[in-house]
Amino acid sequence: MNSPGQRRIDEIGDESRRRILDAAEELFAERGVDRTSFVDIAKRSGISRGSIPWHFKNKDGLVMAVVERVIERTWPAERYRSVPSLAEVFTETAGFLRSGSSALVFMILVEALGERGVVQEQYREFFSRRREGIEVLLRLRRPEGADPERAAGQERSAAVALNGALLGIHLQKLVDPDNVDLDAALVSIATMFDRNLADVWDTGQV
């Protein structure tokens, strides 16, 4: 069992880590990863520059930790242990689009597609969780008598399409907020999806 002194050291370490992550998340969203230095993060967090590599080893480790925390906060792993309704999927998406994390997610994603491939695994997990939730939802609505293997492929394709539509709305809202009505766009895509749901299993298209 840890002594009171050791527990206090652990608490200080956890608090330092949280402050570093908070500062890094803010600065990455404001400036991007490449234009944010450990010196910048130290100034914003109030934690010494030397403590950052102690907690995260290097900048790639810090970026990965920021991405993991954002993803877990937005769509935790246990989210899809219960099956979400279509309404819940759209409500959660709307909440994410309005959060301070949304711009950060796209900014780091762009860098991940370039030289910062170290975070690509985190983004694969990010997209996989979203698709998984939609696939489960569709599976429960699968018509009786449908070929399981073919239906699974069609549901996967529909999940990719719907996930892409939601993220596309998100991106448009970020870059052209005055000309994108988020609520109206989400209602529109939900309506189209519901009206054409049967086509998922007929053609594999939404």
* Chain segment 59-80, per-residue pLDDT in tens: 888 888 887 787 777 666 666 5
- What confidence score (pLDDT) does residue 42 get? 94
Q: How confident is the model at residue 10 (pLDDT cuts 50, 70, 90)?
A: very low
Highest mean pLDDT of the ranges 13-27, 169-183, 192-206: 13-27
d(CA 101, CA 11): 26
Q: How confident is the model at residue 8 (pLDDT cuts 50, 70, 90)?
A: very low
Q: For the residues 174-182, what does the mean pLDDT come to?
A: 87
- Residue 97 confidence (pLDDT) above 50: yes
> Long-range contacts made by residues 188-196, C-beta under 8 angstroms, separation at least 24?
189/90, 189/162, 189/165, 190/86, 190/87, 190/90, 193/86, 193/162, 194/86
Q: For the residues 106-121, what does the mean pLDDT come to?
A: 64
The rounded percent of the chain whose pLDDT value lies above 90 is 19
- What confidence score (pLDDT) does residue 20 get? 94
Q: How confident is the model at residue 206 (pLDDT cuts 50, 70, 90)?
A: very low
- What confidence score (pLDDT) does residue 17 get? 92
